[in-house]
Chains A and B, each alone.
Chain A
Amino acid sequence: MPQSSAAKDSYQLPPKLFDARCKACWLVLGVLLLVVASFATLDLQWAQFWSWGALQKMGRFVGELLQPETSARFVGKLLPAMLETLAMSALGTLLAAALGLALALPAARTHAQDPARWRGATRLWLNALRSTPELVWAALLLIAAGLGPFAGTLALGLHTAGVLGRLFAECLENATPGPAFALRVRGVDEVRVFFYATLPQVLPQLLSYTLYRWENNIRAAAVLGVVGAGGLGQMLAFHMGLFQMGETSSVLLAMLVLVALVDALSYAMRRALSR
């Protein structure tokens, strides 16, 4: 009898707040525990942060940041650093695209008969490249390449190669197999199959991934200099270390301008590609 059961339902208590069988409850509990444990174990110095002295310091900082240094001499130093950062990001991305594609080929199983012997090993390498951040790569490479933008470029290239290699491999695996199959059954060798069937199909997507990573890399290149890898970051660390807030503020503005510029450029290029 539906009526009576409906009537009974309305008397039922609301569901319990915590149910031992409910996965989501455990998840929420775990997250809460993680958050509480994080705040409890970190020696966060809120008292110091909100103290009068720190607030005054902060206020002075912000006040000085609002007066960027615009003397011709300083802008003359800023522009080459901007160009250097731009070149670092672009060249690093280019290197990454080349290395990423080279690694993506063995990391992709393009057709069912492909033995893809190196797939697992290459993917492991790609993961290792990817999971080490640019800044760590830069710090490591400084030992071999010395201070300066070269180490930064290589660092960007290595980290991004890991990212792009994985994306490229997925692209290659997801490409429509028809054209490649058609060439392969006619006995065309693998190199030509790649250049005439697979690559033309996936090229727009590869380019769009590369452009997207370029946008990320200009942000990374701007701060890489903090460990001594050239460009705007090096200027930022230098002037901030000397508490020259006017110069620091100009460098920050230059970073924002550069990022906005690259974003616009990459957006326009991706629009042109997708048309």
Chain B
Amino acid sequence: MPHATIDALPATALMPPRPTVRDPAWRARVFWTLAGLALLWPMGVLTEFKPWVLLEPGALKPALNFVGAFFPPRTDAEFLALLLRETWRTVAMATAGLTLALLLAIPLSLLSVRVLSLSGLAGRMTLGAAVMRQCVRWLLLVLRSVPELVWALVFVRVVGLGPTSGVLAIALTYSGMLGKVYADILESGDAHATSSLMRNGSGRLQAFFYGLLPQNAAELTSYTVYRWECAIRSSAVLGFVGAGGLGQLMDSSMKMFNGAEVASILLVFMALVWLADRMSSALRKNLG
């Protein structure tokens, strides 16, 4: 029995000396924790971060009442018909906005792609071509850095309430995003086919349609579908500033503290986002 012999020995004889259990990095850890807290404090003050406000009876009671009214959600035929119409309007706004965005994004991205430069084939692009491409890139940057909600606020002032401003807002912001990403995708691939077409005398549009586009079609489509999904989400939000669709319905229900209506709208909204998400991922999977 070998165990017996081991047991017979004193335990300390076999054990290695117990290592000192100390965190070698404790100094750094303490320092970063303190530094983090020091940084967190002013942020909490600036954002009026007072979670206990939520639990004050004055705030808690209306909130609980409101949430309590969520069940059951409002499901009568009249409201459902309204909901269905606004849901379609949300989808239609996203689709129309994205279509207009494409009309702007495709020419702009073609203008800004360096691969399709004839003078670039010889080595360096001529000055005019390079300046023009940089200007188009800046235009795209400006278009996409103003959030669609701000565009919508501007257009609501100009054309009045309704889906027109929502469609225009989506069209402008998304043309900036799509144009930039399209240009990036087109430039990231292997440019050999395109440049050899152009070297052999094809036009730039021909080189695009026969060389560049077939190479990148799947990626371009997949990105566009993904952006469509995003556009649905933002078109629902744009209603909050008066651009029609689910957001506007929600805004008015919320102003009347109608919890049952808000619950139905939220449910439809989640279902819509989920459906768009599923559809877009299924489509993108098919594209490979």
Interface residues of A (CB under 8 A from B): 23, 27, 34-35, 37-39, 41-46, 48-49, 54, 57-58, 61, 83-84, 87-88, 90-91, 94, 127-128, 131-133, 135-136, 139-140, 143-146, 148-150, 152-153, 219, 222-223, 226-227, 230, 236-237, 240, 243, 252, 255-256, 259
Q: B89, B150, B162, B270: which contacts A45 (Cβ < 8 A)?
A: B162
Q: What per-residue 1/0 map shows which CB atoms of B204-228 lie under 8 Å from chain A? A: 0000000000000000000000000
- Asked if B47 contacts A132 (CB within 8 A), the reply is no
- Asked if A143 contacts B157 (CB within 8 A), the reply is no
Interface residues of B (CB under 8 A from A): 40, 42-44, 46-50, 53-54, 59-60, 62-63, 66, 88-89, 91-93, 95-96, 99, 145-147, 149-150, 153-154, 157-160, 162-164, 167-168, 233-234, 236-237, 240-241, 247, 250-251, 254, 257, 262, 266, 269-270, 273-274, 277, 283, 286
Q: A83-B46, A84-B47, A132-B266 are in contact. Are A223 and B164 (CB under 8 A)?
A: no
- Asked if B89 contacts A144 (CB within 8 A), the reply is no
- Asked if A146 contacts B237 (CB within 8 A), the reply is no
- Asked if A135 contacts B49 (CB within 8 A), the reply is no
- Asked if A87 contacts B59 (CB within 8 A), the reply is no
Q: A54, A90, A143: which contacts B63 (Cβ < 8 A)?
A: A143
Q: A139-B250, A145-B54 are in contact. Are A226 and B241 (CB under 8 A)?
A: yes
- Asked if A34 contacts B95 (CB within 8 A), the reply is yes
Q: B96, B99, B157: which contacts A240 (Cβ < 8 A)?
A: B157
- Asked if A259 contacts B158 (CB within 8 A), the reply is no
B91 CB to nearest A CB, Å? 7
Q: Which residues of A contact B60 (CB under 8 A)?
A: 144
How many Å lie between the Cα of A84 and that of B274 in the bound state?
33
Give the residue name and chain of the A residue nearest to B251 (CB).
A139
In this complex, the member of A42, A49, A252 whose beta carbon has the largest number of chain B beta carbons within 10 angstroms is: A42
B101 CB to nearest A CB, Å? 12
How many Å lie between the Cα of A226 and that of B40 in the bound state?
25
In this complex, the member of A38, A132, A153 whose beta carbon has the largest number of chain B beta carbons within 10 angstroms is: A38
Q: Which residues of A contact B48 (CB under 8 A)?
A: 148-150, 230
- Asked if B46 contacts A252 (CB within 8 A), the reply is no
Q: B96, B160, B286: which contacts A38 (Cβ < 8 A)?
A: B96
Q: A146-B53, A153-B49, A236-B153 are in contact. Are A49 and B158 (CB under 8 A)?
A: yes
Q: A39-B96, A48-B160, A153-B49 are in contact. Are A139 and B254 (CB under 8 A)?
A: yes
Q: Which residues of A contact B237 (CB under 8 A)?
A: 133, 135-136
Q: Which residues of B contact A133 (CB under 8 A)?
A: 233-234, 236-237
- Asked if B54 contacts A240 (CB within 8 A), the reply is no
- Asked if A42 contacts B49 (CB within 8 A), the reply is no
How many Å lie between the Cα of A35 and that of B233 in the bound state?
17
Known interface pairs A38-B99, A41-B89; 12 further A-B residue pairs with C-beta atoms within 8 A, sorted by A's residue number: A34-B95, A39-B99, A43-B162, A57-B158, A61-B157, A94-B40, A132-B266, A139-B254, A149-B48, A153-B47, A226-B241, A230-B47
- Can you show 22 pairs from A to B with CB atoms below 8 A apart? A38-B91, A45-B159, A48-B159, A49-B159, A49-B164, A61-B154, A90-B43, A131-B273, A133-B234, A133-B237, A135-B247, A143-B66, A144-B59, A144-B60, A144-B63, A145-B54, A145-B59, A149-B47, A236-B150, A236-B153, A252-B146, A256-B146
